[in-house]
Chain A
Amino acid sequence: MKILSDFSNIFKRYDIDLEKVGQAKQISKDPILQSIAKFVVEGDEDGISPAVDEALKTKTPLDIINDALIAGMNEVSRLWEEGVYFLPQVILSSDAMNIGIAKCEKAMGKSMERKGKVVTHTAEGDIHDIGQVIVNALLNANGFEVINLGADVPVDKVVAACKEHRPVMVTGTALMTTTMTAFPKIAHQLKAVGLDIPFICGGGAVCEEYVTSFDLGVYGKEASQAPGMAEDALTGEKWSAMRGKWNG
C-alpha cells in the first residue's frame, strides 16, 4: 500500500481544471514485481535497469516481462484511455518497459516469443509519428513484434518491409490531411504483390470514409484498438471481415 500512496503524490499535480484525477492500480501482489511495474507506470527509464537486474536474481525473466513490465504498460494504457495520462507519459513508460524487456531478453539469451509481426509507419511527409508511438507501445505490450518504420516513410519502403517481414497486419498513421493520400497507394501496391493483409489506418487527419474507400483499409479510431485488431489478424481474419467488425 505504500506504493499506492506514492502514486497519490504523483497525481497531486492533476488539480487542473478539466484534467481528470486518477490513480494507478496495484499491478502485482509480489512486492518485487510491483516495484518493477511501478517504474513502468512512472516512466522511470533510469530506475528500471538496476531494479530489473536485482529482480532477475529471484524471478524468471519471463515472469518479470509478463507480470511486471507488460502488466505495468497495460495499466499505463488504461490511465491514458481514461484521460489521466498524457502522451509524454505513455512514451516514457513505453521506453522504460522496452529497457526492462531488453534486460530480460539478455538474461534469457533469446528474444521473448512474440505472437506475430506488425509493420507500423507514419505517412510520408508526416513528421508527427505520435499516434504511432502509442500503437507501437501497445502492440509491444501485448506480445507482438513491432517492425517500426518510424515517421515520414515513403510508400515503397512500407511495401518492401511488408514483403520482407510478412506481418499479420500493417498500420499507417497520418496527422496531416496532406499526407494520408499515401495510404491508398500503399494498399494498392500491397495487393499488387499479393499481400492481402489488413492495413489499419488512423490518426488525426484520417477518417473512416476515407480508409474504407480502398481495399485492405480498416479504420483505426483509437490507438488502443491496435492490439485487438492484431489478435484478429493473427487468427487469419481477413481485412473485409475486420472492417465489418471494427468499422461502422
Chain B
Amino acid sequence: MNAKERVMAVLNHQKPDRMPCFCANSTVTYEQMEKVQAFWPSGHEKGEDMAKQALAAYTVVGFDAVRVPFCQTFEAEALGCGVKSGGTEGIPGIAHPSPYTLNDTPVFPNDFLSRGRIPELLKAVRILKKELKDEVLIIGGIIGPFTIAGALVDTVPLLKASFKTPEKMRPFLEMGQKAGNMLAKALIEAGADMISCEDMTASPDLIAPKTYRDYEMDYQTAQFEGIRVPKILHICGNVDGIVAWMGQTGAEILSLEPKASAQLAREKCGPDIILMGGVDTATTLFMKDVATVKAGSEESIADGIQMLAPGCAVAPGTPMENLLAMLEVAKAH
C-alpha cells in the first residue's frame, strides 16, 4: 500500500496495512527546513519553497500526507486583511486594525483567487501533484467561516457580537464560508486530494457551544458543500461540547486535540466518522521526549483515534525524533 492508498483505505472503512500518520495542520520544523533548504518567510510566500517544505513531511519525516499552507492568513489577506510577516522563525499573522467593523457590509472580491498569495499556494499544490502523483496524499488547507470572520472584524468584537448582536455576524460568516469554499475548489483543481479546514476561533475555549450550533455549524456545512474530496474539520482545544455538531457539517474526518475525547466523538458522531489526532503539540511533541510521545500516541489510539496525528499545528522547534517516534507507533498498528 502506498501512503495515499493507506489513508484512503481508512476513509473507505477498509483495513489499511498499518495506521496512517499525518497531520491536518502544518508540520514544518526548522530541522526539515534545513534538510530541504527552503526557509521561512519564503515558504509562506513562494510556491516553490512552499512545495519544498510541504514535501519534507513525506521525504524527511515519512508522513502519509503533505499539506499546504502553514499559516492561517491566505483567505483573510485576499479579503482585505493586512498580514504581518513572521520572519524566519514564525508564521504570518493578521495585522491590526481589521478591515471591517460589525456595522459594515463586506464586499466579496470577484478576483478572490488571484489576490494575495493564493496564486502561490495553488502553484505549490500543482508542484506537489507533479512530484507525488498519486502516491502521497496532498492536503489543501482552508480556514473556517468563524475564524475568517474573526480576522475581518477582529476576534474580540466578534465574540461580543456572538452574545449581543449575533445576526451582525452573518455577513462575515458568509464571506468566510464563500472564501473557504472557493479556495477549496481551486486547491482540488490544482491537485489536492483532501481539504483540511482549520477553525480555531470556533473552539469552545472562545465561543459558547450554542454559538457553534446556532450560527457556525450552518456556515461550516455550506463551506463544505460541493467539495468532492474528503474533508477534515480541525477545531483546537477541548471540543467535547460541540463535537456532535462538528460531525454533522459534512466532514468525513474530525481532527482532535488530546484535550478532546475521541471516545465521546465516536459516541456523538456515530461509526462512520473518521477520527484523527494524537499527542499534544505543545506539552508533548515540542517539550517532551520519545518515550512520552509514544505513550501519548498509544493513549490516543486506545481512546479511538484511527489516524495518528499531531493534535494541532506542529511547533517549528519540535525535535525530529519526536515526530519519528509518533510515526513509529503508527507503524506498529
List A residues at the B interface (Cβ < 8 Å). Answer: 13-14, 16-19, 43, 86-89, 91-92, 95, 124-130, 133, 151-152, 176-181, 204-207, 209-210
Contacts and interface: CB of A to CB of B under 8 A. Distances in A.
Nearest to A209: B287
A91 B163 CA distance: 10
Given A18-B240, A19-B209, A88-B159, A178 B316 contact: yes
A86 B96 contact: no
B271 to A, nearest CB: 19
B93 A152 contact: yes
Given A16-B209, A86-B204, A127 B282 contact: no
A176 B286 CA distance: 12
Given A91-B160, A207-B282, A210-B287, A127 B94 contact: yes
Given A87-B205, A128-B155, A152-B84, A181 B287 contact: no
Contacts of A179: 90
Contact of B163 (A89, A127, A177): A89
Given A19-B209, A125-B93, A152-B84, A88 B160 contact: yes
B119 interface: no
Nearest to A124: B90
B236 A204 contact: yes
Given A16-B213, A18-B209, A129-B156, A178 B90 contact: yes
Residue of A14, A152, A177 ringed by the most chain B CB atoms within 10 A = A177
Contacts of B206: 86-88, 130
The 7 closest A-B pairs by CB, nearest first: A177-B315, A86-B208, A207-B283, A88-B159, A205-B282, A18-B241, A125-B90
B39 to A, nearest CB: 15
Interface of B: 84, 86, 89-91, 93-94, 96, 155-156, 159-160, 162-164, 200, 204-211, 213, 236-237, 240-241, 244, 281-283, 286-288, 312-317
A87 B90 contact: no
A89 B209 CA distance: 13
Contacts of B240: 18
Contacts of B94: 127
Contact of A91 (B156, B209, B314): B156
Given A91-B160, A152-B93, A204 B237 contact: yes
Contacts, number: 103
B86 A125 contact: yes
A88 B314 CA distance: 28
A204 B205 contact: yes
B204 A177 contact: no
Nearest to A128: B155
A99 to B, nearest CB: 13
B241 A19 contact: yes
A13 B210 contact: yes
Which one of B164, B208, B210, B237 has the highest number of Cβ atoms from chain A below 10 Å of its Cβ? B208
Contact of A177 (B205, B209, B282): B282
A19 B210 contact: yes
B207 A87 contact: yes
A176 B164 CA distance: 28
Nearest to B316: A178
A213 to B, nearest CB: 9
B283 to A, nearest CB: 4
B164 A206 contact: no
Contact of B207 (A86, A95, A209): A86
